[in-house]
Chain A
Amino acid sequence: MALGDTDHVLDYPIPSPAALEPPAEWAELRQGCPVAHVRLPSGDRASLLTRYDDVKQVLSDPRFTRNLDAPDAARISANESGGVFNSGLGNALPEEYHQQWRRMVGKWFTAKRMTALRPGIEAMAERLIDEMVADGAPADLKSALGFPLPVWVICDMLGVPESDRDKFAYWSNTLLSLTRYTQAEIDAAQAEFAAYMSAHIAATRADPGDDLISELIAAAVDAGHVMPDEALLATSQGLLVAGHETTANMIGKMVGMLLADRTRWEALLADPTLVRTAVEEALRADANPGFGIPRYITEDAEVGGAVIPRGTTVVCNLAAANRDEHAFADADGLDLARTPNAHLAFGAGAHSCLGQSLARTELQAVLDVLLRRLPTLELAVPATGLARVDGLVVGGLQELPVRW
């Protein structure tokens, strides 16, 4: 059956034959079936959007809600809890509180603050690269650099000591599972994280520092109320879940894309001022960012010329939208100088990624330091030998073997 048939139901996510390339179905769907019927890992049905304009419209339209716990909303995964999208902490704050919360946390993610954080992030990258070099080539850049760096940054922001960084990495990995961990393992990780953070929050209340938790507590006091532990816990978990695996995997995929065709790496060595636009282009071209963004609609709405009935769960495939030829010239190519680059890797609208300036800063810092420290960096396996991680909400490479 052709993809455009209305009775044809695709299994989603759609597997891809190559680690850094998109499945061929995306282009066919954009072309012929912009609102496609798909079956999610849970077995529930949803509508998949793959065109740039449609994805951007839905993400910017508050009628498409994040209330995935509605009785007739599709469950994403087969786990009992439905993983992070169906968990209590992943649930939507009411819109009127969302903006309040976002602006309170937002002060931690301004471009100015990121500029101030950057030397510290570069120093962490230097340290991790020193260790990788000391262990000798070949090395797995993902486990040596990509994976630890963002969790170090988040732990620092939360005021968590260096000795507990490994625990955070494990919790983050487990909480984002779609299929890789059992429900019992996910529940245990959730409980351990909550217990750890509750103790950490209590200690921070008693002895505040200059971290995010301390500032949120102080800001609430200034406003004449008490910041509940649940809100601090939810914020911490949100930062960990949203900010660790995403950036960790993106470091691996970005370096992988740049080394897969080494003329790209050489172009950056020749002109390091391209780092900023190269990071944006890697974000746009990422063919394996993960599941996408689900939304649930409570009234009929028109998208891409079709009416989407109320009660539908819609999945926005950001990566397919980012390769839409109607939005980007030579959308399947990698243009390291592309400007402007209004990609949707961080979503769009009022819920677009809060930490996007942090992610950009980390990616730019890592790339700058790698170009400076390891100009001879190259893949230690053919690009066709790279393999994807499956079973997680966030997509990535299993490992990125490199030498220098």
Chain B
Amino acid sequence: MKVSVDEDKCCGAGSCVLAAPDVFDQRDEDGVVVLLDPEPAEHLHAAVREAADVCPAAAILLGDRA
């Protein structure tokens, strides 16, 4: 799984951090998403998919590339 984020689209809701705190964080100064791990381990995939699904701004993109 390959994860990318679109900082311009990000609305800082923080739902990704709640769903997958090992993969996503937010910048302290404005709440914009920080991608901690663009290629998360398998046991995190379900949480990352949830984060992408619930992102209100559709700012998280998932690819299959290993």
Contacts and interface: CB of A to CB of B under 8 A. Distances in A.
Nearest to A355: B13
A360 B17 CA distance: 13
Interface string B50-66: 10011011100000000
A131 to B, nearest CB: 30
Contacts of A106: 12, 30-32
A103 B53 contact: no
A353 B57 CA distance: 11
B11 interface: yes
Interface in A307-356: 339-342, 346-354, 356
A342 B53 contact: yes
Main secondary structure of the interface of B (DSSP, over half): loop
Contacts of A340: 19, 49-50, 53-54
B55 to A, nearest CB: 8
Interface string A106-128: 11011110100000000000000
A109 B57 contact: no
A111 B16 CA distance: 9
B40 interface: no
Nearest to A349: B57
Interface string B22-35: 00011111111000
A346 B13 contact: yes
B26 A350 contact: no
Contacts of B50: 339-340
B18 A357 contact: yes
Contacts of A60: 57-58
Interface in B1-50: 9, 11-15, 17-19, 21, 25-32, 49-50
Interface of B: 9, 11-15, 17-19, 21, 25-32, 49-50, 53-54, 56-58
Interface of A: 60, 102-104, 106-107, 109-112, 114, 276, 339-342, 346-354, 356-357, 360
Query: Which A-B residue pairs are the 7 nearest by beta carbons?
Result: A106-B31, A352-B56, A111-B17, A103-B30, A111-B14, A106-B12, A340-B53
